[in-house]
Each structure stands twice: as C-alpha cells, then as structure tokens.
Amino acid sequence: MKRGQTDLSFLCAVDKPAGPTSHDVINAVRRITGERRVGHAGTLDPAASGVLVILVGPAARLNPYLESQRKRYRARISFGCCTDTDDAQGEVLRVCDVPPQASDAAFAHGILESFIGPQMQLPPVYSALKRSGVKACDAARAGKVIDLEPRPIEVHQVYLDGIGEDEAGLYWDVIFDVSKGTYIRALARDIGRAAGTEAHLSALERLASGNVTLDDCVSLEGLESQGVRAALDPVRACGMRFAFLEGVQASRIQNGNALRADEVALHEWLNPQFNDACACFQGIEESTRPPAPDEKVMMVVDGAVKAVYGFHEDSGEYRSCCIFSKGVIRGAL
C-alpha cells in the first residue's frame, strides 16, 4: 500500500463554515482519516458555508456523478454597490442609488422569476475558470483581466426568502436551485442590474448538493469523533438505481465484464433520506422500469458499491464505467 493510502473508501458531507477554503477542508479530512486520496464534489468559496460532499479513498472516483448534480443555495443579495469579485470580499467598483420599488416583494418576485430557466451566464472575473491554462482569478490579481465567454446554466427554481435592511442597506434573501457551474455571485450581479441598480453577493450557504442536504452533514469535529460512522450511502447520494450481485455476477464485475440486462434486477429507493441507522437495505423495492439508454447503475456486492455500469441499448448489456478495488461502504456500520 502506498504511503498515505488506507483501506477507507466512503462518502460523507461536511457543513463547511465560512472562512476556510474547500481545500482547507480537504486537508483537514486527510489529517483526520490518514488517507491522502480525498476529494470534494463542488467547490465552495471561502466566504460560503454549507454542504460540501467529501469523497475518501477510491470513493473519489464517484466525483463525476456527484459534481454534475443540481445545487441549492440560500443567498443574500445586497443592493447599492458592485464589487470586482461580485461578492462582499471584493473592492467596491460603483455605488449607486437603489430604486424604491426594490423594497417591494411583488417587484422582487417579478425580477427573480425572470431568471428562471436556461440562460447564458458571464462568469465573474475572479473565478477559477481557465483560459490558456491560466486561472481567471490569478490573472485578475496580476492586473490582467481575461475575457471569459458566457456559459450555459439553468436556474431551476428561485424563491424570495425575505427582504430586509442592515448597515449596508437593502438586501434580498433568495433560495436558488441551479445547475452545475452556476455562479451565484454572477446571479446577484445580474439581478441587481435587472432591478435598476447594482448588487453583490453578501452571504451564501449551500443547502443541498444533489440529494445530500445540510441534515446529512457533520462538522469537522463530528467527522473526527465519528470517523467512518459519518458515511452516507453513495447509492442515494448519486440518485442511481442499483443491483445486488453475488456469485458469478460479482466475480464478473470485478474484472469489468459486461452483464446482460435480463440477468440484472434493478432496485430503487422508496425514501431518499439519509438518516436511517443503516442505509444498506431499508426502504428499497425492485424497480419495474426498464433501463434507460446510457443509464448509470451501481453494482452492490456484500453491502458495498463495487462498480458503476452503464446500459447500452444496442447490445442490451451493462458495461463497466468505474470499478472500485475497495468497495465504497454504504451508510453507517
């Protein structure tokens, strides 16, 4: 076994406090677990708090299936000025008056509803996006602004959670349900302009990352005391259907061999909550839906996820996408 590798392979979620970077949390998890291979499914800015999904050991290979999921945030949008970073950590660029109607809930609802749906979003100048191998934020700090292209995003849902005032002036508290790659800072910027003024993001909390919510999170101190008992079920976190395999089938997936669809019984969850004492067998049923083209399915052997397979409609087979030499454990032990 290489230095910094353990027998651990699990998924958990940390309630990141405001202040540390996502990488700071990763380093803390490495220290707690002794495992070098630790990743996360979606960065949170240092000033943001909330759900940060953590992948330990070989479970890190689940990242593509988790990072692409929808995210939910509670954001505070402060009106009256914009910054170079589109949030409260940046330098103020402009200060302007806030129209009186911005204090009206009906006006706010109208503005927010106009942002629902697919759209092209111009990322913040200070972002981790790269052009020619250079991060936009690094270039901006060096005084060189990189021209970033608008990117497709989708705002699935948006709710006005409240209107108030603080020492900085008027703010809206807003709940956003968005696609991967959406910058809430950029939404705050654009919402301010749509309201006839300027605005920036003054606070942000991630409420959910896919199926993982704040209720499923532990603090870093909680992870240190609970260890692997803080693990979540990767099947429910990824939202995939799954199959229980044994015997010859279990041996075949260890070698990445294909499985015929008619020899795989798919199962799904009745209840997507994570708070069962043991996630292994509660609240599931055999699925009656046939596999969809390109559908990803998790293969479970002896209570652990041993592989992710994809369905190929042309051959009627499930074929290997990802094999775990060390199975990803499912829920609390």
Which of 71, 65, 2 has its CA nearest to residue 37?
A: 2
Q: Which amino acid is at 139?
A: A
- 3-state helix, strand, coil split of the chain in percent (to 5) is 25, 40, 40
Q: At what angle do helices 184-194 and 105-113 cross, to 10 degrees?
A: 120
The amino acid sitting at 294 is D
Of the candidates 7, 15, 24, 45, the residue annotated as catalytic is 45
Interatomic CA distance for residues 278 and 281, integer angstroms: 8
Q: How many CA atoms, within 13 angstroms, populate the side-chain half-sphere of residue 87?
A: 19
CA distances from 263 to 69, 268, 318 (A): 29, 17, 10
Contact criterion met (CB below 8 Å) for 223 and 12 = yes
45 catalytic per annotation: yes
Structure tokens at 275: 């708070």
Single-letter amino acid code for the residue at 193: R
SS3 10: strand
Tokens of 217: 């999170």
Among all residues, which ones are annotated catalytic? Answer: 45
